[in-house]
Chains A and B, each alone.
Chain A
């Protein structure tokens, strides 16, 4: 307390006041998102108390119903932290559902063989995009846009019709439950949480993670410092492709079919979740935990609208847009203060 009372008497531009320090803290957006999530959850509790909103399963369903979005958003977090963008996420997810369904149903391959193949294809697609972005200096926006077209087109080349999966091992995997007290989690949700934990470790405790932040913060400086940025960029897009393919597998389990139009526009949800989770779109600042809260907030909007019952589905889009706008403005005020 003594320090704060002393400060106004001797203003010093180098030691920011308490308020400025709070506003300049990089963790603030994550805390704001977490707070927002809690407030929304509390509102849900008070409004739909009698409709079973308070059950643990309703909370766990947020993870089950959004597991694929969480995995895709974790991949997008890496790309955005490195200062790039990946528009191909939704298409790769759609392609993976189609590819998996086609191999399992039409070719009769066991799912255990198909899973590594699907992951490899997604990662290879990401690698190619990263390679082009790095070596030919074409903007990530355009390269991944081409990826969006390519994978969506490949979906349609496999089949124009949706393929439903009747394979018994797939459905038993999809219906497997891990009970936690009175409630349960699906395999997809557990995989998503493992991916989140792995991403957290990689970003904060490995050399690769530091490089991602460094390149996103300032590519020029990272280059001058001697960081091998080429490899890092390619790795980031490969990882995003891998995460998208994994998200596609989770989506296949969740919905048990392949459809050329699955997950259209999901890349926007993933990017929105990352932004709402407090990651700066210019790169270099943000936390993967924030992405978790971003996904949970988006999922909570959906379930609140379901519980309300009278609201139509398009309110989800409007609410997402409004939240996106609010968080972008918060980020903006924060970064301008830090510079000043």
Chain B
């Protein structure tokens, strides 16, 4: 009996369910590929399923981290996929015009140009949402629709290929035996966590998401915060765009980052961040993104036809959302007699149990 309260506290932790799902998914792979967890050293690089999950998942993690902050302010950013395409297109088309594609200065300039375009997109989204007061879904829909057209305009409808060693580094290169993109992701996540949890910024973002008008009256510049998160989200998408185009050494205006916005939103939701805004968990988002990537890998390794991937994804979205819905929990666990007392308590005050303890905890823990 002594373990029960501790166990209950553990299951109540906001990271428990996402991590449990991740571990479960990883374990599912073991019977099919016994050496799933082994990491081999070849040519001075580490290889293995775990490494490739993180490598292929890194653009998604980046986009999802940016998306977390936007969702925390009660918004949503649908334009990230288009921003990924624009950034890749602009960088690659600039780079392919250079005489010496391997020159480091040229590569840096190309990346800077791409990221600048991403920031401009973010400013535009932020302007529409914060200054014009347009619903976030709609405001970002504009770039989602037009952005792919712009990306195709930049690449002239072609797939631009580049051949540049330094550019290859960010998405496909290795550093200290690990893929370089893992370091980029780690740096971005660390900076985000430090800025939001070591300074008041995270609290301000959450308060804007909780009630923008009230925060403004308290003296928080909620408009500025909102613009800031959209710019940050676009910047993350831009880095992801560089990564994707560098990994394939090509820019495809049509398909780069297609549907990444939906995966990112899904990762954020799996990570326990409410779409209503007001609280967020960067750690949860990272786990959520890894869950999605592991799901894809698992489907490949266990030999289920890959085309069922989307059906699995749909099932995961539905289950996760239903579990997060207080009404659903009250209905199922309350009526189904899942430990009568606890069920009844949840049915009585579903909103309290769902929101209050987690809100407090997310404020303390990253």
Q: Which residues of A contact B (CB under 8 A)?
A: 85, 132, 135-139, 141-143, 145-150, 152-154, 156-157, 160, 260, 268, 271-272, 275, 281-282, 312-318, 320-322, 324-325, 328-329, 332, 336
CB pair A150–B310 under 8 Å, yes or no, is: yes
**How far does the alpha carbon of A145 sit from the alpha carbon of B321 in the complex, in Å?**
11
Other contacts beyond A153-B309, A260-B307: 15, CB < 8 A: A136-B331, A137-B325, A138-B324, A142-B269, A143-B321, A145-B262, A156-B307, A156-B308, A313-B157, A314-B152, A316-B149, A318-B150, A321-B147, A328-B128, A332-B132
Q: Are A328 and B310 in contact (CB under 8 A)?
A: no
Query: Quick check: A146 and B314 within 8 Å, CB to CB?
Result: yes
A315 with B149, Cβ < 8 A, contacts A142-B321, A328-B142 known? yes
Closest Cβ neighbor of A333 among chain B residues: B132
Indicate the member of A142, A143, A312, A322 with the most B CB atoms within 10 Å: A142
Interface string of B268-279 (1 = CB under 8 A from A): 010000011000
B311 adjacent to A147 (CB under 8 Å): no
- 25 example contacts (A-B, Cβ-Cβ < 8 A) are as follows A136-B328, A137-B326, A138-B321, A138-B322, A141-B76, A141-B275, A143-B318, A146-B318, A146-B321, A150-B314, A153-B308, A153-B310, A153-B312, A153-B314, A271-B141, A272-B141, A312-B152, A312-B153, A314-B148, A320-B145, A321-B142, A321-B149, A328-B138, A328-B142, A336-B133
Which positions in B face A, CB cutoff 8 Å? 76, 128, 132-135, 137-139, 141-150, 152-153, 157, 253, 262, 265-266, 269, 275-276, 305, 307-315, 317-318, 321-322, 324-328, 331
Q: Please, which residues of chain B bring their CB within 8 A of the CB of A282?
A: 135
Closest to A320 in B: B145
Minimum C-beta distance from B285 to chain A (A): 15
Instruction: Give every chain A residue within 8 A of B275 (Cβ-Cβ).
Output: 139, 141-142
CB distance from B351 to the nearest CB of A (A): 10
User: In the complex, A332 Cα to B128 Cα: how many Å?
Assistant: 10
Residues of chain A contacted by B324 (CB below 8 angstroms): 138
Interface centre among B141, B262, B331 (most CB of A within 10 A): B141
Say whether A149 contacts B149, CB under 8 Å: no
Option from A136, A150, A314, A316 in Cβ contact (under 8 Å) with B322: A136
**Which A-chain residue is minimally distant from B253 (CB atoms)?**
A314
- What is the CA–CA distance of A318 and B86 in the complex, to the nearest angstrom? 13
- Taking a contact as CB atoms under 8 Å apart, the answer to whether B139 and A328 are in contact is yes
Interchain CB contact (< 8 A) of A324 among B133, B141, B310, B317: B141
- The interface residues of chain B lying within 8 Å CB-to-CB of A148 are 262
Residues in A with CB closer than 8 Å to B132 are: 329, 332
Residue in A136, A153, A318, A332 whose beta carbon sits within 8 Å of that of B327 in the complex:
A136
Contact at A156–B325, with CB atoms within 8 Å?
no
Dominant SS at the A interface?
Answer: helix
Query: Cβ of A329: which chain B residues have Cβ within 8 Å of it?
Result: 132
User: B137 contacts A281, CB within 8 Å?
Assistant: yes
Closest to B146 in A: A321
Which 10 A-B pairs rank lowest in CB-CB distance, beginning with the nearest? A321-B146, A153-B310, A317-B149, A156-B307, A153-B311, A150-B314, A149-B314, A314-B152, A318-B149, A146-B317
Q: Residue of B at shortest CB range from A268?
A: B145
Is the beta-carbon distance between B317 and A149 smaller than 8 angstroms?
yes
Q: Is the CB of B311 within 8 A of A150?
A: yes
**Alpha-carbon distance between A268 and B145 when the two chains are bound, in angstroms:** 7
In the assembled complex, which residues on chain B have CB atoms less than 8 Å from the CB atom of A281? 135, 137-138
User: What is the bound-complex CA distance between A132 and B318, given in angstroms?
Assistant: 9
> Bound complex: CA of A137 vs CA of B310, how far in Å?
24
Known contacts A137-B327, A148-B262, A157-B307; is-contact A268 B318 (Cβ 8 Å): no
In the docked arrangement, what's the CA distance between A315 and B146, Å?
9
Q: Is the CB of B153 within 8 A of A318?
A: yes
Min CB–CB distance A305 → chain B (angstroms): 11
- Complex Cα distance, B138 from A282, in Å, reads 10
Would you call B265 and A145 a contact (CB within 8 A)?
Answer: yes
Residue of B nearest to A156 (CB): B307
B327 neighbours in A (Cβ, 8 Å): 135-137
Q: With both chains docked as a complex, state the minimum distance between the C-beta of A234 and any C-beta of chain B, in angstroms.
A: 15
In the assembled complex, the Cα of A336 lies from the Cα of B307 at a distance in Å of: 47
Whether B307 contacts A160 by the Cβ 8 Å rule is: yes
A160: chain B residues within 8 A (beta carbon): 307
Chain A residues, CB < 8 A from B269:
142
Q: With A141-B76, A160-B307 known to touch, is A321 a contact of B313 (CB < 8 Å)?
A: no
What residues of chain A lie closer than 8 Å to B153, measured between beta carbons?
312, 314-315, 318
Contacts of A325 in B (CB 8 A): 142, 146
Q: How far is the CB of B86 from chain A (nearest CB, A)?
A: 12
Q: How far is the CB of A115 from chain B (nearest CB, A)?
A: 25
Asked if residues A314 and B149 are in contact (CB atoms below 8 Å), the reply is yes
For A147, A153, A320, which residue has the most chain B Cβ atoms within 10 angstroms? A153
Least Cβ distance of B315 to chain A in Å? 8
